[in-house]
Structure formats: C-alpha cells, structure tokens
Amino acid sequence: MNPATPIIELREVEKRFGALTVLRQINFDIARGEFFSLLGPSGCGKTTLLRILAGIEQPSSGTLLIDGQPMAGVPANRRPTNMVFQSYAIFPHLNVEENIGYGLRNQPLSKAEAQARVAEALSLVKLDGLGTRNAHQLSGGQRQRVALARALVCRPKVLLLDEPLSALDKKLREEMQLELRALQRTVGITFVFVTHDQEEALTLSDRIAIMAEGQVMQLDTPRGLYERPANRRVAEFVGTMNLVPGRLCGGRLDAGALGAFAGSMVGVLPEGAEAFLALRPEKLVLHPGAGSGGNPSLAGRVTEAAYLGDRIHYQVTAEGLDRPLSVSVNNVAEGFGLGTPVTLSWAEGAGLILGP
Amino acid sequence: MRGKFNILWVYAGFFIIFLYGPVLLMPVFALNDGTFATFPLKGFTLKNFAAMAANTSMILAFQNSLKIAVFVAVLSTALAIPAALALTRFRLPGGAAIQSFMMLPLVIPSIVIAVALLVIILKILGIGLSLFTVAAGHVIVCLPFCISVLMSRLEGFDPSLEEASRDLGCGAWTTFWRLTFPLALPGVISSLLMGFIISFDEFVIAFFLTGTETTLPVYLFSQLRFPNKLPGVLALGSLILVGSALLVIAAEVIRKRGVASSNPGDF
C-alpha cells in the first residue's frame, strides 16, 4: 500500500439510531502514524465514530476505508484495528499474560512466538514481572496498561482509544499522557484518541477534530485550533476566550457603544451578520486608570484576581459587557487590587473576528 | 421502644416454627423406635435407615429420579443459555413479552401442565408414558428457573468485555467459549443444581406422566397407604430433606461467589 495514502478515509459517514441522527457528514482523512484526537463534549458522537472505525457499530450511510480497503460488512474481528475501551474491559477470569495474549490466539503464531510477543508487550507498557497477576489485583493505572498492551500486541494498523485516561486521577493522568505520546512515537502506529478534555487533546495530538452535535466543527493542529478557531463554539471549547459581541460592519466589528474593532477575519461572514471579537487572555495588556491605553482598548474594573505563581489571572468587568473578561499577565510588575479601574488594550492584529 | 418483649421477635419465632417445625418433626420420628408417628417418643433407632438399603424397589425409584434429574438439569440449562443470552444481549423486538412468556410456567399450576401434557402425549403424539415423558415435563417446569438464574448472571457483566473479545479477533462462537461461558460458569452451575433439585422433588408431573417405572416422590406417596411403612417413608424423607438442603445451599453459595467476582474492578 502506498505510504502516502491516508490510513483512514471517511466519506459522508452518517449514523442514525432510529429517528436520532448522531453523526452527519463526516468527511476526513487520518494520515499514517498520526496521533489524531476526536474532541468534544459528551454526546457529540465522538465515541460512536470511534466504534464505527472499530466495526462495533456500522454507519447508516457513507463509506469508510482503512488502509485503502472498504470496511463495509467487515466485522470488528476482521479489521486491522484494536481498541482500548473506556472501562478497559480487562477479562476478569484471566491473568495479565492471558489477557494480553487473548488476541494472539487468533493469529497464526507458534506458542513460543506468542509468548515472546506477550513479554515484549509487557515490557513496552512497563509491567514486567506482573504477567501472572490476576485482573482484580491490578490498580487503575495497571489495568489501563494491560488494556493498551492487549491491543498493541496484535500489531494493529490503527489503535483506537476511548477516553482511556478519564478514570485515572490527575497526577497519573498527566504521567500517562506523556507515556502514551512516547509510546506512540516508539511503535509508530496511528492512534485515534477520543477525549472530552481539551488540554489532554492539545498535549497529545498531531491533529484534532472538534466535534459537536454529530458534526466536525473544525479539524486542525492544536496550534491552529487555539490561534485560529473557526467559530465562537470552538473558541470557547479550546482554552479560554474573551468574546465581545457585535455585528460585522465594513470588515470591522461594530460593538455598539463600545466602538468598532478591527481584527483578523476567520472564515467568510456576510455584512451585518452577528459576530464576535475574540481575544485570548494572554493577548490583553492591563494599564492602571481608565482611559489610559491606546487604541483599541476597553475600560473596566478588576473584580477578581487569582495568583498562580508565575502568572496572575484577573477578571475585569468592562462597561457594556455582560461577562467579565479574563486577563492573564506575567507576574513581574505590581499587581492590581480588587476594584481598581483599569484599561485593557491589545495589539491591532491580536483580535479575531468570528461567527457564532 | 426497646423493651425486652418485642412483638416482632415473637412473630418471627412463630413464623420459623410454622415454616420448619413440621419438616423437622420428620427426622425426629424417623429416628424413633416405633411404628406410629406420635409422642411420646419410644427410643432412638437407626433401623429405619438401615432397612432402606434392602428395599430394592425404593432404590430403583431413587435411581430413576437421579437419572431424570441429571438429564433435566443438563437439558434445561443447555436450552436456557441461548435464551438468557438473547434476552440479555440483544434488544429483541417484544423482548419483555417474550421474557414474561418464558416465565409463565412459574405461575401455571403444575397439575394443569401435567394434564395438558398427558393429553398431548397420549392422544396427539401417541407416545407411551415412560421416564422420558416425565423428564420432558420437568424440563418445562425447570426452564424458567434456569433462565432467570442465568440472566441474573449474564446481566452482571460489562458489555464491553464481549466487544473487546470481538475487537481482538474472536468471532461470535469463539467469544462465547473463551469469554461468555467461563464468566457465566457460576450461573451455569447454579442453574444445573436448580434444575436437578426441582426435577428430583417434583411429584405432580411425575405422577401423571410416568409409565410403569416410578420416581422417588411417587414411590413415597404409594408407600403411605401402608401404615407399617411409615417409619421407612419418614427416613427416606429425612434423607431427601438433607440432600436437597445441601444442594440448594451449594447453588446459592456458588451464585453469591459469582456475583462477588463479577466486579473485580471495584476496590
């Protein structure tokens, strides 16, 4: 197979459960060796899409190609994919080795070869010496490693991961994120990772598809998503974003009494359409006193301050805006007390103009 | 109110006496050295139990009951496994209706089943009565019990286990033998014990559907006509009582242990 062809191709994939459409117009490719994430709130269809890739669910319409082969009618057990389930699905009647070797019995391998593969997988996920442990003797993190080894030992072309880190505590989760990324580089297999945690997706992924209500809202690199979100919903989902509502007027955002703001346009919006000026907290600069900043700027008052050590996060309530603005500044200068009148300014090109 | 006299304790005491008193009198009289089951007791003896060993017709009836019970336990469990799988694993159209339909023999009086089967076997099928017809009747009565025991076991485990097995390359058949069956094993064993005990104790259907050979409960009943056989009947009844109790306890212990081990992930 030509290495330039995508490992996964999705064309017009739709999924309906009765009258409910859970996936619509899914069209994208996943490249070989990519760490690809499906990110979205619960109920957005990301897990259903993963289960369609695995063959556990069938799409209602559309086509799916894996490694150039059409997957229509190919059951889960004949697909070159393996999955790490959210619950890990460790077989409770088998020990660690037997769990990991479960899939190998369906492959034409000698006993010695299978044993060698299991041992290799055990050390890959750092579980050497735990092969004879029973499933119920394992900690959450160990169960996750067994699930990972059990899938990887089959040498799939694509590894599917359904929120594998969501059951772990924060510290372990961060450790496993780094390990997972390193592991993916080692084995070079394409990973498709489902998560609702945007930070996790940004940390791990080469590319991310943001999903909402069964559709892909935006597909981009983590940097692309953060710096040029396609619309307000993506902007709010990835990181923190300050939004100034208004209407598009001559390439600027007319925010009524607050004035008109220039910004770099994302996408194409018709004149007069509802739009937002989007500003990341770290792009804003705080000046003491009202009306002391240059243009563009907003006046307001500090209503909340959170000291984070290296940075300080302020909430600034600006006149004429319903929601306070988040501002993140380096902890170098004097802080601002609560109630201090301030002016917020930003560089001309720092704001984006987004549709809803 | 935390007085010494609590009406609930009295109620509980009477309840237990009412429930088990008559049954427990049976071994008492079986060990009594006298023909009549009356107080005062005359003396301790084991001769009633010893006499059973020499009673060939009783041993024959016992063997018949044993054969039928084993056959019924295996057959009704084998039939119940696919039914329980279908009811727990798939959203069958009309699944709830099918389930209550399968559970119906639980509430139909066994005399109705017995008479209906008698008519079908003799008049419609034209088969002679034998131990096989008894066994067939027992399978009908045992099936709902076996299905519900197996269903409670199969409902207990994570559906992603079977998905994982498919994902790792196993077809439906391999998944059943490598995953579902071993996990359901405690349920299968208690289903076997349940089927065995129900068939072994069953009287009405056996009485109606048996041919020349009799089962143990039917034999017991026939002996009641002779007053001098009563101590022997009581001795036999005592043994059945002990055996049944042991089997039911074993079935329950296995089922409980199975329930406990189905959630190994919960710490």
- Tokens 């006298």: give the residue: B34
Long-range interactions of B219-226: CB distance < 8 A, separation 24+: B219/B57, B219/B58, B219/B61
A347, A283 Cβ separation under 8 angstroms: yes
Cα–chain-centroid distance for residue B8? 32
Residue B44 DSSP SS3: strand
Percent of chain B that is helix, strand, coil (3-state, to 5) = 80, 0, 20
Minimal CA separation from B161 to chain A, in Å: 5
B170 vs A: CB within 8 A: yes
Domain residues of chain B, as ranges? 59-260
For residues A76, A81, A84, A89, the Cα torsion angle rounded to the nearest 10 degrees is 30
At residue B14 the predicted structure's pLDDT band, cuts being 50, 70 and 90, is very high
Residue A329 has pLDDT above 60, yes or no: yes
A180, A10 Cβ separation under 8 angstroms: no
Q: What is the pLDDT of residue B231?
A: 78
Which chain B residue lies closest to A147 (C-alpha atoms)?
B164
- Of residues B88 and A294, the one with the higher pLDDT is B88
Structure tokens at A170: 């924060």
Residue B190 has pLDDT above 80, yes or no: yes
A216, A49 Cβ separation under 8 angstroms: no
Q: What is the pLDDT of residue A3?
A: 67
A85 vs B: CB within 8 A: yes
Q: What is the mean pLDDT of residues A1-16?
A: 86
Q: What is the pLDDT of residue B36?
A: 67
Residue B267 has pLDDT above 50, yes or no: no
Residue B217 has pLDDT above 70, yes or no: yes
Structure tokens at B174: 């391999």
Residue B264 has pLDDT above 60, yes or no: no
pLDDT digits (tens, 9 = 90+) for A250-302: 888 888 878 888 888 888 888 888 899 999 998 888 888 776 556 788 888 89
Chain A CB contacts of B176 under 8 Å are none
Residue B259 has pLDDT above 60, yes or no: no
B182 vs A: CB within 8 A: yes
Report which of B167, B124, B174 is spatially closest to residue A161, judged by C-alpha positions: B167
Chain B CB contacts of A93 under 8 Å are 182-183
B161, A89 Cβ separation under 8 angstroms: yes
Q: What is the mean pLDDT of residues B251-261?
A: 67
A11, A27 Cβ separation under 8 angstroms: yes
Q: What is the pLDDT of residue A1?
A: 54
Element (H, E) at B131: helix B131-155
Element (H, E) at A248: strand A242-249
Q: What is the pLDDT of residue A32?
A: 93
Q: Could you give the angle at which helices B56-89 and B47-54 cross, rounded to 10 degrees?
A: 90
Q: What is the mean pLDDT of residues A135-162?
A: 92
Q: What is the pLDDT of residue A294?
A: 63
Give chain A's domains with CATH numbers. Answer: 8-227 (3.40.50.300), 240-354 (2.40.50.100)
At residue B260 the predicted structure's pLDDT band, cuts being 50, 70 and 90, is low
Structure tokens at B194: 């349940």
Question: What is the Cα–Cα distance from B130 to B214, expressed in whole angstroms?
Answer: 9
Q: What is the mean pLDDT of residues B165-181?
A: 92
Q: What is the DSSP secondary structure assignment for residue B129, as one 8-state letter?
A: P
* Inter-chain CB proximity B170 and A89 less than 8 Å: no
Residue A14 has pLDDT above 90, yes or no: yes
Looking at every residue in chain B, the average pLDDT score rounds to: 84
Element (H, E) at A299: strand A297-307
Residue B22 has pLDDT above 70, yes or no: yes
Residue B174 has pLDDT above 80, yes or no: yes
Lowest-confidence region among A179-188, A236-245, B65-74, B226-235:
B226-235
pLDDT digits (tens, 9 = 90+) for A187-223: 889 999 999 999 899 989 999 999 999 999 999 999 9
Q: What is the mean pLDDT of residues A93-100?
A: 93
Q: Could you give the angle at which helices B216-223 and B56-89 cross, rounded to 10 degrees?
A: 140
Complex prediction ipTM: 0.83
Superfamily of domain covering B59-260: MetI-like (1.10.3720.10)
B59, B183 Cβ separation under 8 angstroms: no
Residue A285 DSSP SS3: strand
Chain A CB contacts of B163 under 8 Å are 54, 56, 76, 83, 85, 89
A18 vs B: CB within 8 A: no
Question: What is the Cα–Cα distance from B81 to B98, expressed in whole angstroms?
Answer: 15
Tally helices (H) and strands (E) across chain B. Answer: 12, 0
Query: Is the peptide bond prior to B93 cis by the omega test (within 30 degrees of 0)?
Result: no
At residue B37 the predicted structure's pLDDT band, cuts being 50, 70 and 90, is low
Q: What is the DSSP secondary structure assignment for residue A231, as one 8-state letter?
A: B
